[in-house]
Structure 1
């Protein structure tokens, strides 16, 4: 590898060295270290000055299964084009392939992370951009795996266009503010595709969360915007497409929930707007628990779900208004596009399943069909507060 004071400088004028650590000691501030193809097994390497570290194709930093690989402790560092491999696991520390500690303005792009406990770990970082990286986690259960992209106590960070596969949590935000995750693919996670706690004023845009053990959990936060995401095939006894727990004053806009055990779960979630989302072929499309207050669900599409809405209480202060339901059997005499009779999306059988989950085996039986017919004729038991009093007569969008 070689070092130069600036991009594009003549290689021949600067020394060639064999170790990344030696190159970083020789490079000038804002200079460039180019790592040639090869496998480099060195002690944990510290980056303590603003430099650019660039890997040629085939440049691999290998932790040999025993250590962190690269620790960044300076502002304005760029890490590009490297493969990070084999951190090994640890029960004592959150061992990361690439850790940024109390630094700002870092750019981490176009890297590969293979068999790493934690991939990229931002710790009290600010204004960092992490993009176009591909990360594979370690084999094993969630107790011996770490997170792909991890942000702790950080501000104004962006994760975009990354692919994260097989980690404990694909993306993890904790005590992180004013940050964004956009156009990432997080799949096959041992726990959550996205796990988010105690982080306010963040945005999640156009991400895909696919085939994760427990889906996505957004908890203990406010002023969150989730728009244009796809939650698909997150299945299991405790799996959600999206869990909103103790979250308030936030927006869930234009997302697609497809073939999840539970599409959207609201628990202790207050004053949130759930607009223009598609719920297609889920077990439960939406579950609204008793502690969810003053949420408004409008313009959503419900198609092919086993249960459109579930609840554990006949009392609720959340509102369904102007949604489209494939089970609606009303009419529109004044032709204003809205049904003239309300729609009750909570099936009587869904209330029975809440009390006795084993009853779910009867979901396709004639008895359940008869219960549905009886409840439509005499809607005495399903929650009045969860009825849609102005259901749409036509689907607002094509079903995908």
Structure 2
């Protein structure tokens, strides 16, 4: 019954509805968070028009399907949408943006109960979408908290993504995106950036992503990116890097991780400057004797050199790669010897006379004091 450009006020109550089609420009606004209950029958909202706003609804019970990606809200080929102040629970997929652009996903709470990957969906998914802002959302208990595929010029800021089965944030084939000031905590892994370029990753926190295959951040086939001002704290691996080139790592804090940075495979022309490496079991793990990456002006808590001229820079270069990290890469069970005197001796001998580690993999200007 509504006309284009109308505002619908949905009064407090429970509405058992699913497959609600919004095919004209509307503002649909809840009063005191009315419940829209899909009764597990299928998708709940499908938006196919430009200029649609959903605001202040409590949406529950999306139908789980093994053939369709049912979502609480699906936006299809639409522009200028606004999804805000929504609470989504008992979901399969939460918010699914499909070939849509110039919209905003703002201040929503998306809570799943994912147990297995095969029968759970993602909290916020963008597929072939551009110029979208995703900000101040809380996503928890889904497969991937936020997932981008073939989606460019996306800005993801001030979100909390935690307790998700697989990744807090996952990029695939997506370029020129920014994510900043987000928290990724206790996920299967924090963030995976794969087959993408020109990604800016700034001022995020990656915390307590623990497990046998857990990373704060996983980079695979990434080029021309910036990683700055981030905190990686208590992850199994802070950053796992494979086939990624021309990336600037600056002003990051790596605190109490198993591996701060683990480099696997071909990674060239990367720069690591002005980072703090604090009390990690391994600061840098390398599996190659070749290195053309630059390590300069970082603070290393394991550095034991001196500073005779008192300029704040160590007079002796620091070699961050321990021989023991090579041993653990080849034979993971040897990790039980991590704190042994024997390992201290072989690491010391490798630092004095490098045989297995790249001769030029060193920080010639290690800082004597932690960067603020």
1:102 pairs with 2:74: no
Displacement of 1:138 after TM fit? Answer: 3.0
Q: 1:365 aligns with which of 340, 343, 357?
A: 340
Give 2:194's aligned residue: 219
Q: Paired residue for 2:325?
A: 350
Correspondence 1:198 to 2:173: yes
Q: Which residue of 1 aligns with 2:62?
A: 87
Q: Is the 8 A contact 1:290 1:315 kept in 2?
A: no
1:120 equivalent to 2:91? Answer no
1:143 to 94, 98, 118: 118
Structure 1: how far apart are the matches of 2:103 and 2:220?
Answer: 28
Q: Find the partner of 1:235 among 200, 210, 227.
A: 210
Matched, 1:376 2:362: no
- Give the drift of 1:207: 0.3
Q: CA deviation at 1:317?
A: 2.0
Greater displacement, 386-395 / 182-191: 386-395
Mean Cα deviation higher: 331-340 or 193-202: 331-340
Provide the rounded CA distance (Å) in 2 between the counterparts of 1:71 and 1:382. 56
Say if 1:105 and 1:126, in contact at 8 Å, map to a contact too: yes
Native 8 Å contact 2:86 2:107 kept in 1: yes
TM-score, normalization: structure 2? Answer: 0.98
Conserved? CA contact 1:290–1:316, under 8 Å: no
Query: CA RMSD for the aligned pairs?
Result: 1.1
Within-5 A mapping of 1:39-50: 39-50=14-25
User: What is aligned with 1:335?
Assistant: 310
Which residue in 2 is equivalent to 1:5? none
Aligned to 1:247: 222
Question: Are residue 209 (structure 1) and residue 172 (structure 2) matched?
Answer: no
Measure, in 2, the Cα distance between the counterparts of 1:42 and 1:222: 41
User: Size of the alignment, in residue pairs?
Assistant: 372
1:303 paired residue number: 278
Distance 1:143 1:385 in 2: 45
1:13 corresponds in structure 2 to none
Q: CA deviation at 1:347?
A: 0.7
2-structure distance, mates of 1:283, 1:234? 11
Gaps of 5+ in 2: none
Q: Secondary structure at the match of 2:118?
A: helix
1:293 aligns with 2:268: yes
> d(CA) in 2 for partners of 1:314 and 1:292?
12
2:104 counterpart residue number = 129
| Preserved contact between residue 125 and residue 155 of structure 1 (Cα < 8 Å) | yes
Q: Which 5+ residue runs of structure 1 have no aligned equivalent?
A: 1-25
> Please, what TM-score do these two structures have when normalized by structure 1?
0.91
